[in-house]
Amino acid sequence: MGIMTPYDALKKAREKNLDLVEISPTAQPPVCRIMDYGKYLYQQEKKEREAKKHQTKIVVKEVKFRINVDDHDYETKKNHVLRFLDEGDKVKATIFFRGREMTRTSLGRQILERLIKYVQEQSIVEFRPRQEGNTLHAILAPKKSAQEREKEKEKEAKQKAKQERMQKEKLQAQEKEKQPAQATVAAQAPNPTSQA
């Protein structure tokens, strides 16, 4: 609309039953816009809510080990780590040393290295095993993003549906083959009522 006095701009905004909103106060002269400010705020809030829906929260799950962990316990905790990574969560693997165990930190490092080696196909190592005080920890992140996991799940579901459909078709074809065979057997069998 060009350069005008604040009074004229307010007058035009009121004529249209809208608001005069200052866009850039530092510009010379200041830039203003005539619009429905309530509607603008509502649309901004709507956009923010929509953006929040598509955000993914990063959750860090912790799995604690001990240096004298049994094989069965180790396997169970390793399976927990794999499950957490499949769900898209980060995993913090921690080993806590008590008392004299501090002299055996190499055992703890071996356990974490063994875990990292086993889950390397499903994860990325964000932090190699590092010691802080009496704890040794490593952080693992999932290799695939949430979108990639969703695509994989959809692909698996499609394959499963395709296999089920093929099995149904196979069963139906077998049923059709049986029906003519049964009809010919029935035609060949003697009719007991006609003999009497």
Contacts 24+ apart (CB under 8 A), 97-101: 97/67, 97/134, 97/135, 97/136, 98/134, 101/67
Report which DSSP code applies to 102: G
**Contacts with 4 (C-beta within 8 Å, 6 or more apart), sequence order:** 12
Query: What does pTM read for this prediction?
Result: 0.48
Q: Walk across the sheet containing 60-65 and list its strands.
A: 60-65, 90-96, 135-142, 123-132
Quick one: pLDDT at residue 147? 60
CA 152 to chain centre: 11
Residue-wise pLDDT for 101-152, tens only, equals: 888 888 888 888 888 888 888 888 887 888 888 888 888 888 866 566 667 7
What pLDDT digit, counting tens, does each position of 13-71 carry?
Answer: 888 888 888 888 888 888 888 888 888 889 999 998 888 877 777 788 888 888 888 88
The owner of tokens 């830039």 is 31
pLDDT for 196 equals 47
Q: Which amino acid is it at 67? A: I
For 107-147, the DSSP string reads: HHHHHHHHHHHHTTTTEEEEEEEEEETTEEEEEEEESS-HH
